[in-house]
Structure 1
């Protein structure tokens, strides 16, 4: 078996019915936020479903509990409030609230231009799950930074941002994340143990609206969207029309998923810290960077102590 085939076998062979969480519990994955305009029921054998054009619309009378566009202004406003509050606590000698992350001083918001990050209590779309030292030794999740794509009553889904690419899309010999060779040379990143193809895309709001493509993608935070393999055709159409470029995409094989109670248990057990951050802290250029974990910690306070 050659090296490429060996890597593919080891990394991309997880099954939905055999995922084990950091707490050791088996669980099935049920998407908590079905992509607008698509059904995620298991297709019939031999069938495929893919959007090849951007002129798509959601079903009539669709009741989506989450807004399709996330306004990032309130996040920046909240960050400024948290920064002020933590500055006051720090000056008063408040104890470190993040011992599991090994911070040597009270955590705080470090505002470095367009980059900032601070802890929050509950997962929300566009936040990060940052692995703590309790996941050291757990190969898949050790020192990971996971971008939460959706969070709601049914659970949460996310994608690992800081695992390096091992191959390009064409090397996997899969057409799920490609249309007519448009994305064949793009690197493919490991996004998590659940079998699902998806991508992140950086795009201007006006460009999506002009092409009628906003319904095919979900905005995670200002200017950053995600799409599933069903909407790769629409993404390729946008590239051909020069609405976005090839460098505006990052493709992932696999994702992460939790039922709501499961994620709450893992957070309560100290496996994850929930972090809000600015778009500038996790731009597409940072995808695949093994240093992202320490960079996010640095934006919250002192460097880790271990």
Structure 2
């Protein structure tokens, strides 16, 4: 069985689910029981400053105050997920690939607020989840493209350009992809 951790899912134009239309999701974990990922191109209504204020964390690095927090998906929208480079030794981290991690513990947010966090980071509220076989089924239904993960898409590309940039990693121009598929 092929697993898709360390890949990005790029929603094809025909995917009508409002939670995932025109999204890019980084798959953080995928095994025989299902998959978990974080949508990396949909902004939430919150900024990093809003988030740390709500958590009672002092923001000493003002450069992050206006950084947009992502809407990471419809599952656990109250939980934070920090995608970042470097290991950092945070309490609850999962290595996705060399130089790409997801951390769910408060200590990474505290470090970021103090100016001691990872060099590159994206904060999301919520995640996306697929049950056993669900992601594989969606792939056979032509809902997603799979693309090797690229930290530059997550950390360096503007939000509104990530859908096209992720697909471009495998030479696909989403402006030329039909919103439907058929069988001959």
TM class by shorter-chain length? 0.7 to 0.9
The whole-number CA distance in structure 2 between the counterparts of 1:179 and 1:232 is 9
The whole-number CA distance in structure 2 between the counterparts of 1:233 and 1:166 is 23
Q: Counterpart of 1:46? A: none
Q: Counterpart of 2:98? A: 222
Matched, 1:290 2:160: yes
Compared with structure 1, are the counterparts of its residues 199 and 264 closer, same or farther at alpha carbon in structure 2 (3 Å cutoff)?
Answer: same
Task: Work out which of the residue numbers 50, 57, 64 in structure 2 matches 1:179.
Answer: 57
Q: How does 1:138-177 map to 2 (within 5 A)?
A: 138-171=17-50, 174-175=54-55
Structure 2: tracts of 5 or more residues without a match: 178-184
The whole-number CA distance in structure 1 between the counterparts of 2:60 and 2:114 is 9
Q: Which has the higher strand share?
A: 2
Aligned residue pair count: 170
Task: Work out which of the residue numbers 91, 101, 106 in structure 2 matches 1:232.
Answer: 106
Q: Counterpart of 1:26? A: none
Residue 144 (structure 1) shift: 0.9
The whole-number CA distance in structure 1 between the counterparts of 2:96 and 2:165 is 20
Residue 219 (structure 1) shift: 1.8
Residue 255 (structure 1) shift: 0.7
Q: Counterpart of 1:33? A: none
Residue 238 (structure 1) shift: 7.0
The whole-number CA distance in structure 1 between the counterparts of 2:111 and 2:123 is 16
The whole-number CA distance in structure 2 between the counterparts of 1:165 and 1:278 is 22
Compared with structure 1, are the counterparts of its residues 182 and 148 closer, same or farther at alpha carbon in structure 2 (3 Å cutoff)?
Answer: farther
The whole-number CA distance in structure 2 between the counterparts of 1:283 and 1:170 is 20
Q: Counterpart of 2:82? A: 199
Query: Any idea what SS the aligned residue of 1:188 has?
Result: strand
Give the structure with higher Rg (CA): 1
Task: Work out which of the residue numbers 11, 14, 25 in structure 2 matches 1:134.
Answer: 14
Aligned-CA RMSD value: 2.8
Q: Which has the higher helix share?
A: 1
The whole-number CA distance in structure 2 between the counterparts of 1:233 and 1:151 is 25
Query: Any idea what SS the aligned residue of 1:253 has?
Result: strand
The whole-number CA distance in structure 1 between the counterparts of 2:165 and 2:85 is 21
* Residues 248 and 284 in structure 1, CA contact (< 8 A), matched pair in contact too: yes
Task: Work out which of the residue numbers 266, 283, 296 in structure 1 matches 2:138.
Answer: 266
Query: Any idea what SS the aligned residue of 1:220 has?
Result: strand
* Residues 10 and 22 in structure 2, CA contact (< 8 A), matched pair in contact too: yes
Q: Counterpart of 1:39? A: none
Residue 189 (structure 1) shift: 1.2
Compared with structure 1, are the counterparts of its residues 296 and 194 closer, same or farther at alpha carbon in structure 2 (3 Å cutoff)?
Answer: same
Residue 215 (structure 1) shift: 5.8
TM-score normalised by length of structure 1: 0.48
TM-score normalised by length of structure 2: 0.76
Residue 285 (structure 1) shift: 2.2
**Residues 171-211 of structure 1: per-residue CA shift (max 9 Å, x gap):** 46632xx63346882421111111232111222x4xx3xxx
Q: Counterpart of 2:69? A: 188
